[in-house]
Amino acid sequence: MLQASAGHVARAVMARAVMVLVVTGALLVGAPPAAQASPWAKRTWGYLTTPDGVQLRYSVLLPRATGQFPVALKYDGYDAGTIGGAAYQAGDSWTSSAVDSRLLAAGYAVVGVSMRGTGCSSGTFGVFSPSWGSDGALAVQWAAAQPWSTGRVGMYGWSWTGIAQLFTASQRPPALAALAPGMVVTDPLRDVGAPGGVLNGEFPTLWWGTIMDTWSLDTRNAAGDGDLTCAANVASNLVTGQASSPTTAYGHPFYDSYWAARDLRSETAKITAPVLSVEDWQDEEVGPRGGYYQDLLNPDTTWYIGSNGQHDLYASTSVQNQLVPFLDHFVKGVNNGFEQTPHVRLWMETTAPGAPLPSEDELAQATPSWTITAPSLPVPVRPMTLYFNADRTLTGARGADGTLTYAPTPGPSVNNGALGSAVTGGNAGPAGEETWSSAPPTGVSFTTAALNKTVTLSGSASLDLWLSSTTPDTALQATVTEVRPDGEEAYVQRGWLQVSDRAIDPSLSTPLRPVHPQTLAAVQPLQPGVPVQARLEIEKFTHTFRRGSALRIWIDAPSGTGIWNFPATDAGLNTIYSDAGHPSSLTVGLLSTRPAPLGLPACGTVIAEPCRATTVAIPDIQPIDWPDLG
């Protein structure tokens, strides 16, 4: 057990050292768009003082109308507190000025507030600090009390801005009428820091570099305002923030008191305001997991949009077309019938110019090819178990017994957002897919027969492997693909597991979602050659596999996925077992067997689902008997 712990810590230290070097060359901010006329009638700014004396920078944009306005509040540690300043007007902002403009046009006062210890605000920065909630609640109540306000506040935005909404809403500020968080993290260790116990050495360092970079926008905005306080606060934050930056998480590779103090998921159960939740299944920055916080919300007051796509999909016109009616109904009080709309919208095969990795401008045009709706969360699915066989097939019943041995070599990278994403700016374009499309597959794969009916799978999936290794620990990566009749293989989703972290948390796990304690006490080293059962969580997705396609799963070692990266792979050989005593399997959630309304999309047109030429034929075996769910 101590040996396993030392290995985890060593990998964390190594990852941190490597990424500190990488980040100096990776943070590239794309060229800002051309300046536009201000869409607001009046702008004011200042500082809110918290009960403990911290000053939070704010900026208010008032619409071109008279009277009092409902409030749309964005709150984060980027440049929210200086929106509307000189840099913002020049088109240089980390948050979306397009969404702000849409809300201003809809008659909302748009308010931005910077968290303590960030940008122009004073105080001490802390990752997932309880102050994110208490300060956010203060900002909500302050905005509601202003003479230009109707007293009703809605919150909006994604990523950190979305996370901040959940912290704030858990405080239940009376004036908060609704929130629309997108692309969030609530269980920071399992969601991003170490999915399945495999340390993610890239994202935390990139994020911290980005945070500090965005404060230069605050400085430019504040300089144009004549705000002399801001520069001093930014200089202080750049120094003091190092002690509690996201990179400090590298010293906590296991769930401990550090992570317990930063558990947002349990706090979300306190939220009573209506919620519009937005998430991307292939999110290259925070992943789609979100701690499954929606499970803890009231389904009658929760709306959900899920889609294939990238982190910044929230800024698309299609999302805005749902966001504005949602806020209009619950914040403005418009009787527009939003409460009667489906609570669940699954955007299928969402496309955009420049796919599979569009630029930010191209992503704004993202549109679902078709939509599946449901009356409420959770989306009902039927668990279906598919069995691994020694002949590398995946079948509805156990087939050939035996074992397969492979070297844990990292698989191809996919959706390589390190060249272009919300964190780094710019556009990855075709370069972001070079490894996926050209690198030879690694590890072993298991494939179904060609499907004899169209199958839509939804939710997380559970890979239940029986395996052994020649080493005391090994890391797994599972990649789900669709093998198409045209000979192309489309990426669908991934999951990871450090096998020494295979212990299951029964309070959080389900047949489709294995969740691991990831504590030091739960570590279980492997005995060379002795098979163990290891359940790996394949993260959420919804995907329609057309009749004639096949479902394939690759097992190899962790590799670059979006802007996530993982430590070097352990040496040795792994063996997968498939027999009566060791029935390795994959359990998926069957949503529908209804034919798709559209034909198979052309490769390269679906966001974040790149294709490559398949190297393994679909097996000519008996098709799986999928139950007819209509």
Name the band, by pLDDT with cuts 50, 70 and 90, for residue 48. Answer: very high
What 3-state class would DSSP assign to 594? Answer: coil
Give the angle 173-118-52 at the CA atoms, nearest 5°: 55
Kind of pairing, strands 149-158 and 176-182? parallel
The CATH number corresponding to 7-273 among 3.40.50, 1.10.287, 3.40.190, 1.20.1050 equals 3.40.50
Instruction: Give the pLDDT confidence of 301-351 residue by residue, as tens digits.
Output: 999 999 999 999 999 999 999 999 999 999 999 999 999 999 999 999 999
What 3-state class would DSSP assign to 520? Answer: helix
Q: What percent of the chain has pLDDT over 90?
A: 86
Instruction: Give the pLDDT confidence of 470-486 residue by residue, as tens digits.
Output: 999 999 999 999 999 99
Fold classification of 380-591 is: Jelly Rolls (2.60.120)
Kind of pairing, strands 585-592 and 455-469? antiparallel
Name the band, by pLDDT with cuts 50, 70 and 90, for residue 82. Answer: very high
Name the band, by pLDDT with cuts 50, 70 and 90, for residue 7. Answer: very low
CB 75 within 8 A of CB 117: no
Q: Whole-angstrom Cα distance, residue 69 to residue 58?
A: 17
CB 607 within 8 A of CB 355: yes
Kind of pairing, strands 344-348 and 302-307? parallel
Cα four-point dihedral sign 461, 467, 468, 469: negative
Q: Whole-angstrom Cα distance, residue 107 to residue 63?
A: 6
Q: Whole-angstrom Cα distance, residue 427 to residue 31?
A: 11
Q: What is the pLDDT of residue 416?
A: 83
Mean pLDDT score of the chain? 91
Backbone angles phi, psi at 236, to 5 degrees: -70, -45
Cβ neighbours of residue 46 under 8 Å, at least 6 residues apart? 57, 58
Determine the angle formed by the axes of helices 228-240 and 203-225, rounding to 10 degrees.
160
Backbone angles phi, psi at 241, to 5 degrees: -65, -20
Q: For 309-347, give the DSSP string.
A: S-GGGGGSHHHHHHHHHHHIIIII---SSGGGS-SEEEE
Q: Which helix (H) or strand (E) holds 9?
A: helix 2-26
Q: What is the pLDDT of residue 36?
A: 53
Instruction: Give the pLDDT confidence of 396-434 residue by residue, as tens digits.
Output: 998 889 999 999 999 999 998 544 444 444 444 444 455
168-195 b/e (C-beta count within 10 Å ≥ 16 → b):
bbbbebebbbbbbbbbbbbbbbbbbbbb
Q: Whole-angstrom Cα distance, residue 436 to residue 491?
A: 9
Burial of 335 (0-12, 13-18, 19+ CB in 10 A): exposed
Q: How far is Cα of residue 604 from the mean position of the Cα atoms in its chain?
A: 22
Cβ neighbours of residue 558 under 8 Å, at least 6 residues apart? 198, 410, 411, 475, 476, 477, 496, 566, 569
Q: Which helix (H) or strand (E) holds 481?
A: strand 475-483
Q: For 40-69, give the DSSP string.
A: -SEEEEEEEE-TTS-EEEEEEEE-SS-S-E
The residue to which tokens 């999110």 are assigned: 283
Q: For 352-371, give the DSSP string.
A: -TTTTS--HHHHTT-B-SEE
> Which pTM was predicted?
0.92
Rg (CA), the chain: 24
CB 193 within 8 A of CB 96: no
Q: What is the pLDDT of residue 31?
A: 32
Name the band, by pLDDT with cuts 50, 70 and 90, for residue 18. Answer: very low
Q: Determine the average pLDDT of the residues in 586-595.
A: 97
Q: What is the pLDDT of residue 202?
A: 81
CB 515 within 8 A of CB 190: yes
CB 343 within 8 A of CB 311: no
Q: What is the pLDDT of residue 20?
A: 30
Q: Which helix (H) or strand (E) holds 18?
A: helix 2-26
Domain ranges of the chain: 7-273, 380-591
Cβ neighbours of residue 48 under 8 Å, at least 6 residues apart? 55, 56, 58, 113, 138, 139, 142
Q: Whole-angstrom Cα distance, residue 427 to residue 300?
A: 39
The length of the chain is 630
Tokens of 90: 């020049």
Q: Whole-angstrom Cα distance, residue 133 to residue 128?
A: 9
Q: Whole-angstrom Cα distance, residue 94 to residue 104?
A: 18
Q: Whole-angstrom Cα distance, residue 76 to residue 216?
A: 15
Name the band, by pLDDT with cuts 50, 70 and 90, for residue 30. Answer: very low
Q: For 267-299, give the DSSP string.
A: GGGG--S-EEEEEETT-TTT-S-GGGGGGGS-G
Q: What is the pLDDT of residue 434?
A: 56
Backbone angles phi, psi at 240, to 5 degrees: -70, -25
Instruction: Give the pLDDT confidence of 538-570 residue by residue, as tens digits.
Output: 999 999 999 999 999 999 999 999 999 998 777
Q: What is the pLDDT of residue 480?
A: 98
Tokens of 540: 């959420």
The HSE-up count of residue 208 (CA atoms within 13 Å, CB side) is 27
The residue to which tokens 């105080």 are assigned: 123
The residue to which tokens 């240089």 are assigned: 92
Backbone angles phi, psi at 306, to 5 degrees: -120, 145
Q: What is the 3-state secondary structure (H, E, C) of 592-625?
A: ECCCCCCCCCCCCCECCCCEEECCCCCCCCCCCC
Instruction: Give the pLDDT confidence of 100-141 residue by residue, as tens digits.
Output: 999 999 999 999 999 999 999 999 999 999 999 999 999 999
Name the band, by pLDDT with cuts 50, 70 and 90, for residue 529. Answer: very high
**Adjacent-strand bridge partners of 533:** 466
